[in-house]
Chain A
């Protein structure tokens, strides 16, 4: 009891040192555990999303890029394909085809051009406002709406594809007509538009009163990329919007294929086996599983690094204890002269170390508990950033 009292008195007297030691030890304990949980949460999220997506069709190329773009709206765009591929899936009678147009962004959020089938497939419901109905409208994921503070009645502007591409597309100002209910997945972080709206952003579809600088009067049609301007689909100009070229040639980035049964899935997969076929079909769960195999291989290296760091930290603690004993040599001698054991101070230092480690464990646990709620959004963010 006296050892505990003396140890506490010492720690209280050297409170700054004690606090630093507790914080450092807590971080050393909490960091690997937190990373472990974050990876587990990310894996759970990514795997759930992949398993909920039966098949993906895209242009032949990186299977990972295709899966990451179509499932998590990553910035790495896969090779493009055309709407003809989606029509072919529909015509096969083997699966439901949900084309996705990806690649554009609005205030850092991915703009996803999709058909209404996509919303039904993902179980996305509108929490505020209404679903997409007209050309040029946008529906926000819950995360984007919260981050940007936008809701129905506001507007969001698509970002230019390339700042220095003067001949590139003009931004499109889109009225926000709805906000989706939170799902905890990548859909929360996306801006959804109709496929046709995505093509308008891309410049395939356009109206004829479309380039208006701020303050310009009606009739002042200016086509000058140096101006800060945006286009907008309004009731006045919506009828003038039209598309050039054959619809089958309009670009998309991926197709989610939902086969009607296992047999249909097998047949559909067989159709894309030919390596000469410019299209490929992938099973997202398989691609994401392979990704995590690689992540875990890397993680074992990370674990080894953490083990080395922990070993170094243990050595540092050992050195701190040794130096502490050296510094308290006089106290040791005094204790011995007054009738204490020679090991009195060593026992005190051991007690202090145990107290510090206990407090560090409690703090680490508190950190982990406090970040418990943030783990899902961080995992979602990581998944989105992946």
Chain B
């Protein structure tokens, strides 16, 4: 799913860079990325999603040379093949849970909203246990329910890869395991691989593999 070799990136204003000699993720694999704050974990997610372009090296995601794509191409790639789950959920406060799940279809010209998509959104909500809360807005949902809605949003476009950035960081201990199990189960159903950045070492045994990013930061980058 992901093949990265000698991946290098430095922030334009300097002070921090990232060097990844090699990183692989197989289809359907669940990989945890750990490391101290500022080690470049979130930057790696940005590079894989095509939000940032690497300065050097090779990066294939689902067989696509992402850095070679145009800006529009990378956006379309992101919308169609990558699902994002964020620590702070990033749900849209003025939309219902249903519309939040369908949000990628409302903002990306690469995706087309039809009855099948709506049915899939309903099925995901059912599986996530929020089917009876689809008409509520995020402000009327609990933290755990919000993250479930966010997981449904990440999966609705049937992505090949889920990128989770501290997805359980804002949840209580009881909800953490439940949400992660849900994420894994739904990803497995969709045949998607999961690359999750986390600080929570208690959750690491649930992953297939763990990569420590402590040594990948390049603080000499200018």
Within the assembled complex, what's the spacing in Å between the Cα atoms of A341 and B105?
12
Query: Apart from A338-B104, A339-B78, what are 17 other A-B pairs with CB-CB below 8 Å?
Result: A2-B107, A10-B94, A12-B94, A13-B94, A13-B137, A336-B51, A337-B78, A337-B90, A338-B78, A338-B108, A338-B153, A339-B75, A339-B76, A339-B80, A340-B75, A340-B79, A341-B107
Q: Once the chains bind, are A339 and B110 in contact (CB under 8 Å)? A: yes
Shortest beta-carbon distance, A119 to chain B, in Å?
66
Q: Is A125 an interface residue (CB 8 A)?
A: no
State whether A9 and B103 are in contact (beta carbons under 8 Å apart), knowing that A337-B49, A338-B78, A339-B76 are contacts in the complex: no
Within the assembled complex, what's the spacing in Å between the Cα atoms of A160 and B84?
84
Q: Once the chains bind, are B105 and A2 in contact (CB under 8 Å)? A: yes
Contact surface of B with A, Cβ cutoff 8 Å = 49, 51, 75-76, 78-80, 82, 84, 86, 90, 92-95, 99, 103-108, 110-111, 113, 137, 153
Q: Once the chains bind, are A338 and B107 in contact (CB under 8 Å)? A: yes
Q: Once the chains bind, are A2 and B94 in contact (CB under 8 Å)? A: no
How many chain A residues touch B (CB < 8 A): the figure is 20
Within the assembled complex, what's the spacing in Å between the Cα atoms of A309 and B90?
39
Q: Once the chains bind, are B94 and A5 in contact (CB under 8 Å)? A: no
In the complex, chain B residues whose CB is within 8 Å of the CB of A6: 95, 106-107
Interface string of A45-79 (1 = CB under 8 A from B): 00000000000000000000000000000000000
Shortest beta-carbon distance, A356 to chain B, in Å?
15
| A-B interface, 8 closest residue pairs, ranked by CB to CB distance from nearest | A339-B79, A340-B107, A13-B94, A2-B106, A339-B108, A334-B90, A339-B78, A10-B94
In the complex, chain B residues whose CB is within 8 Å of the CB of A87: none
Within the assembled complex, what's the spacing in Å between the Cα atoms of A148 and B107?
63
Interface string of A304-347 (1 = CB under 8 A from B): 00000000000000000000000000110111111111001000
Within the assembled complex, what's the spacing in Å between the Cα atoms of A344 and B105?
12
Within the assembled complex, what's the spacing in Å between the Cα atoms of A330 and B94?
13
Chain A, residue nearest B105 (CB): A2
Shortest beta-carbon distance, B17 to chain A, in Å?
22
In the complex, chain A residues whose CB is within 8 Å of the CB of B51: 336-337
Q: Once the chains bind, are A335 and B107 in contact (CB under 8 Å)? A: yes
Within the assembled complex, what's the spacing in Å between the Cα atoms of A9 and B138?
14
Within the assembled complex, what's the spacing in Å between the Cα atoms of A241 and B94?
81
Within the assembled complex, what's the spacing in Å between the Cα atoms of A12 and B94?
8
In the complex, chain B residues whose CB is within 8 Å of the CB of A338: 78-79, 84, 103-104, 107-108, 153
In the complex, chain A residues whose CB is within 8 Å of the CB of B49: 337
Within the assembled complex, what's the spacing in Å between the Cα atoms of A9 and B114?
19
Within the assembled complex, what's the spacing in Å between the Cα atoms of A228 and B108?
84
Within the assembled complex, what's the spacing in Å between the Cα atoms of A5 and B57?
42
Chain A, residue nearest B89 (CB): A334
Chain A, residue nearest B83 (CB): A338
Q: Once the chains bind, are A331 and B92 in contact (CB under 8 Å)? A: yes
Q: Is A14 an interface residue (CB 8 A)?
A: yes
Within the assembled complex, what's the spacing in Å between the Cα atoms of A300 and B120?
63
Q: Once the chains bind, are B107 and A9 in contact (CB under 8 Å)? A: no
State whether A9 and B95 are in contact (beta carbons under 8 Å apart), knowing that A2-B113, A339-B108, A340-B108 are contacts in the complex: yes
Which of A5, A334, A336, A339 interacts with B92 by CB under 8 Å? A334
Which of B84, B95, B106, B110 interacts with A337 by CB under 8 Å? B84
